[in-house]
């Protein structure tokens, strides 16, 4: 069962994995801020403005610690001391057993608690059967994770124009191959994908498409 | 057509109808062969029937035997999404009115191989609401259908039959669009299902009364959230409190956000799961989203599932993704 807000760890408050990278913490924080902001359509009909403000204060407090490497290390040490389970890696969710929701309480094993922000579901239908990572596939995976192009640009320092060209498969507007590979690897890292494989796949597909066009 | 013989549900449960929402309603149900899904969401016009028709088509095309049940008893229209003319054909009305005893005989063929449809209660002259006994009969018969997957297309709203079908499914889907009205209705739907699930799991009469009170958000006991309710129940009966915790741990509906236009609206799904976690204390599964796609209304207008009419559209891709995630198909 999810613990009450007042008892939740900073990771639970942000719904970020305890072993999450700084990028994952950042992403979880952005989603949390958006969820409980005064203009949010997700929270307003459930929580009052005061309740949202209180949640946001806790979220900001969590982020202030987890986004600072030293503070996070100190916090992790305190947390490990208080609750050794906090570092148990999160598990991928499996399809639920065929059992009515009503009956599960009595029969089903209790699933492990999930703390992590969304992970790429690359075997869940976003990569076509041919396994090629072209611009469309990279865009779909990015969007499925709720990551804006601007966030990738801010993290990687890659110009947004180049990012758009990569996602649109506008090969004639791409930077020289040596830069392109580096860009693709950085994008792949932001999406928690295999950087080498994405760079190889994208550039191979680009060469084939260009050769066909010529 | 007048059927003869005794309906199976009368012979097994007559005189002992379970309390609404009680777990013992389903204890005698034989082991499931078909996996049962139910698709609801509170608000009308958010694409439930569209989603059901397309999920079913994908599953049928992957080799599964699929039967759809249009459980929108007051506004059945799933047949139109599949290109089926309802006309005077056999429907759920015939089953409820005992004109057909065998539910399997109510399932009609559709243009999609492997996919059959049980039409909604067309021509039902009485009220669209069903009795507890009728629902129990239907649910038991569903478990005996020769199918790999049965999907209920639920009505809008949170009436008792809709919530019962939702809770009886192996997988319950809550559909919403990114609009505030649809999201508000989705929470209302989840809230109704959650409290009804609780009422079914807990047996102490005082506790059940407490749940009834808590369902009114402006109740005088000051119980605002499920967390407040848990505290009140634990004071009354710690064992019931423990059962409550089990419900929280095992109640895990799937969320689908339809008509998503941009990354911001994709994130709405994450936000809704977060609110459910922080308000209800439940961990719902963001099963996926369907992007806004002009091909969707074209396919509805053509009366063909999107995944057949426009198989390469973005909308079709995201429908297949949900099926793959849930069925591995």
Residue B166 has pLDDT above 70, yes or no: yes
User: Across residues B241-259, what is the average pLDDT?
Assistant: 89
H, E, C per residue of B133-146: HHHHHHHHHHHCCC
Q: Are A4 and B228 in contact (CB under 8 A)?
A: no
Does the ipTM surpass 0.90? Answer: no
Tens-digit pLDDT profile for residues A111-122: 444 445 555 554
The shares of helix, strand and coil residues in chain B, as percent rounded to the nearest 5, are 50, 15, 40
Cα A127 off chain centre by = 17
Closest CA to A165 of A116, A206, A107, A198: A206
The DSSP secondary-structure symbol of A93 reads P
A108 touches chain B (CB under 8 A): yes
Q: Which of B183, B253, B289 has the CB atom closest to A41's CB atom?
A: B183
Q: What share of chain B has pLDDT > 90, as a percent? A: 45
- Give residue B314's pLDDT: 87
Cβ of B170 within 8 Å of Cβ of A118? The answer is no
Closest CA to B149 of B182, B178, B107, B191: B107
In terms of C-beta density within 10 A (0-12 exposed, 13-18 middle, 19 or more buried), how is residue B61 classed? buried
Cβ of B321 within 8 Å of Cβ of A125? The answer is yes
A37 touches chain B (CB under 8 A): no
Residue A195 has pLDDT above 90, yes or no: yes
Q: Report the half-sphere exposure of B272 (CA within 13 A, side-chain side).
A: 33
pTM here is: 0.81
Residues 6+ apart with CB under 8 A from B326: A95, B37, B171, B254, B287
A101 touches chain B (CB under 8 A): yes
Cβ of A2 within 8 Å of Cβ of B36? The answer is no
- Give residue B128's pLDDT: 57
- Give residue B86's pLDDT: 80
Q: Which residues of B touch A35 (CB under 8 A)?
A: 270-271, 274-275
B324 touches chain A (CB under 8 A): yes
Residue B6's pLDDT band, with cuts at 50, 70 and 90, is very low
Q: Which residues of A touch B266 (CB under 8 A)?
A: 143-144, 146
Touching A: B residues 174-193, CB under 8 Å: 178-180, 183-184, 187, 193
Report which of residues B223 and A10 the model is more confident about. Answer: A10
Tens-digit pLDDT profile for residues B190-204: 989 988 888 888 888
Report which of residues B122 and B69 the model is more confident about. Answer: B69
Cβ of B271 within 8 Å of Cβ of A40? The answer is yes
Q: Which of A5, A103, A140 has the CB atom closest to B26's CB atom?
A: A103
H, E, C per residue of B277-295: HHHCCCCCEEEEEEECCHH
The DSSP code sequence of A53-91 is HHHHHHHHHHHHHHTSHHHHHHHHHHHHHH-GGGGSPPP
In sequence order, what E strands does B111-176 have? 115-118, 149-154, 171-176
Residue B121 has pLDDT above 80, yes or no: no
Go through A93-119 and write b for each residue having 16 or more CB atoms within 10 A of its CB, e for each that does not.
eeebeebbbbbbbeebeeeeebbbbbe
């Amino acid at each position: 069962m999810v613990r009450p807000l007042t008892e939740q760890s900073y990771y639970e408050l942000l719904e970020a994995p305890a072993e999450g990278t700084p990028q994952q913490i950042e992403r979880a924080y952005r989603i949390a801020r958006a969820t409980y902001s005064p203009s949010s359509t997700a929270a307003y009909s459930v929580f009052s403005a005061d309740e949202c403000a209180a949640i946001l204060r806790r979220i900001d407090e969590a982020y202030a610690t987890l986004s600072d490497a030293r503070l996070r290390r100190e916090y992790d040490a305190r947390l490990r001391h208080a609750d050794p389970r906090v570092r148990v890696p999160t598990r991928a969710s499996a399809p639920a057993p065929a059992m009515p929701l009503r009956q599960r309480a009595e029969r089903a094993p209790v699933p492990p608690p999930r703390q992590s922000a969304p992970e790429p579901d690359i075997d869940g239908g976003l990569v076509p059967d041919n396994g090629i990572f072209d611009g469309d596939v990279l865009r779909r995976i990015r969007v499925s994770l709720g990551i804006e192009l601007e966030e990738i640009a801010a993290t990687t320092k890659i110009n947004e124009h180049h990012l758009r060209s990569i996602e649109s498969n506008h090969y004639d507007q791409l930077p020289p191959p040596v830069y392109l590979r580096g860009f693709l690897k950085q994008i792949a890292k932001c999406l928690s994908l295999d950087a080498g494989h994405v760079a190889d796949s994208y550039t191979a597909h680009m060469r084939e498409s260009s050769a066909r066009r010529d | 057509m007048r059927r003869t013989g005794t309906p199976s549900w009368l012979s097994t449960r007559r005189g002992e109808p379970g309390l609404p929402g009680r777990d013992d309603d389903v204890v005698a149900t034989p082991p499931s062969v078909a996996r049962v899904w139910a698709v609801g969401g509170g608000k009308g016009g958010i694409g439930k029937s569209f989603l059901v028709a397309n999920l079913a088509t994908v599953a049928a095309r992957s080799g599964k035997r699929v039967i759809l049940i249009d459980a929108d008893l007051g506004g059945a229209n799933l047949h139109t999404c599949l290109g089926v003319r309802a006309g005077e054909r056999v429907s759920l009305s015939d089953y409820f009115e005992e004109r057909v005893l065998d539910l399997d005989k109510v399932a009609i063929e559709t243009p999609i191989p492997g996919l059959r449809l049980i039409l909604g209660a067309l021509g039902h002259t009485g009220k669209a609401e069903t009795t507890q006994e009728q629902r129990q009969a239907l649910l038991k018969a569903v478990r005996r259908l020769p199918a790999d997957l049965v999907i209920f297309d639920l009505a809008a709203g949170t009436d008792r039959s809709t919530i019962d079908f939702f809770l009886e499914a192996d997988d319950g889907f809550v559909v919403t669009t990114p609009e505030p009205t649809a999201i508000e209705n989705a929470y209302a739907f989840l809230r109704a299902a959650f409290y009804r699930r609780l009422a079914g799991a807990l047996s102490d009469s005082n506790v059940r009364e407490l749940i009834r009170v808590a369902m009114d958000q402006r109740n005088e006991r000051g119980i605002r959230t499920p967390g407040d309710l848990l505290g009140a129940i634990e004071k009354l009966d710690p064992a019931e409190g423990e059962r409550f915790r089990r419900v929280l741990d095992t109640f895990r509906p799937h969320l689908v956000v339809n008509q998503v236009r941009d990354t911001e609206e994709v994130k709405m799904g994450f936000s809704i799961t977060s609110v459910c976690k922080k308000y209800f204390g439940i961990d719902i599964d963001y099963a996926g989203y369907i992007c806004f796609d002009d091909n969707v209304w074209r396919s509805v207008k053509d009366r063909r599932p999107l995944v057949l009419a426009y198989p390469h559209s973005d909308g079709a891709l995201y429908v297949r993704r949900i099926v793959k995630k849930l069925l591995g198909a």
